Amino acid sequence: MSNTTVMNDLLETLDYEHQWNGLSTPMKMDKEELSTEVKIEKIQSHFRGIMETLGMDMTDDSLQDTPRRVAKMYVNEIFKGLNEANKPAIKLFKNAYKYKEMLVERDITVYSYCEHHFVPIIGKAHVAYISNGNVIGLSKINRLVEYYSKRPQVQERLNEQIARALKEVLKTEDVAVIVDAEHLCVKSRGIQDTASSTVTASYHGRFKNEETRKEFLTYINLNSSIR
């Protein structure tokens, strides 16, 4: 069995998302729903096969439990965003203070994994919205960022998924999201460029206006030339 086939099998055992439309994470439509423990068992077996193929001595004390550790990490931690049951419940509150300016939360930790090589994407998300009468707890913004980060990703899609989710929750188009991240698929392999980072932006509603966008970029201390 090739490593590519094994990785495809790993993804099939992790998935939960319901459709693929360019913004949703690409998932099989006819997948079999598996329990958490079954997923862990299947991934454990697959990962043991990868290690054995690489020539690792699986009787060594340091390695013998690695397949299960990796499997539990995949299902319960770094790819838990594939399980829709983990999507944060978000309660709306009335904007009692009648605050009409933008709300900005910056430097939200992004820790995701590149879906092309399964290595980390590490960075920050900067999120803003303008209330149309409702607000959400600040921590819920962080939880949404975390939820969509915890799955195999490409940064462009991650950026748009966060923005789309916020628009749906807040019932407003006035949302902006910027993600600034470093990709270990660039830093630790291939070109091995350790100095670069990638910036993606998603502007909606009033944030398409240049002055509103500049105000947002000023708050997060990014150059207003970023489009």
> Catalytic one among 17, 41, 115, 182?
115
Q: Is 183 assigned a catalytic role?
A: yes
Beta bridge partners of 140: none
**What's 26's DSSP letter?**
P
Residue 222 phi, psi (nearest 5): -110, 150
Averaged over 23-51, what is the pLDDT? 91
> Catalytic one among 44, 46, 114, 126?
114
Is the separation of the CB atoms in 123 and 186 below 8 Å?
no
Residue 156 phi, psi (nearest 5): -60, -45
Residue 152's closest CA among 193, 178, 121, 186?
121
Instruction: Give CA separation, 31 vs 17, 19, 20, 36, in Å.
Output: 10, 11, 13, 15
Residue 73's closest CA among 101, 44, 106?
44
Calculate the dihedral angle through the C-alpha atoms of 86, 145, 110, 39, rounding to the nearest 10 degrees. 20
> Catalytic one among 155, 160, 161, 204?
155
Q: Is 192 assigned a catalytic role?
A: no
What beta strand segments (E) does 131-215 contain? 134-136, 152-153, 175-183, 198-203
What digits encode the pLDDT tens for the residues 54-72? 999 999 999 999 999 999 9
Are β-strands 198-203 and 175-183 bridged in parallel, bridged antiparallel, or unpaired? antiparallel
> Catalytic one among 105, 117, 173, 215?
117
Domains belonging to the chain, first-starting first, are 3-86 (1.10.286.10), 92-219 (3.30.1130.10)
- Percentage of the residues of the chain whose pLDDT score is greater than 70: 87
Q: Is 211 assigned a catalytic role?
A: no
Q: Is 204 assigned a catalytic role?
A: no
C-alpha 18/C-alpha 150 separation (Å) is 16
> Catalytic one among 12, 17, 105, 185?
185
Residue 145 phi, psi (nearest 5): -60, -45
> Catalytic one among 52, 116, 168, 210?
116
What digits encode the pLDDT tens for the residues 176-215? 999 999 999 999 999 999 999 999 999 999 999 999 999 9
- Percentage of the residues of the chain whose pLDDT score is greater than 90: 79
Q: Is 185 assigned a catalytic role?
A: yes
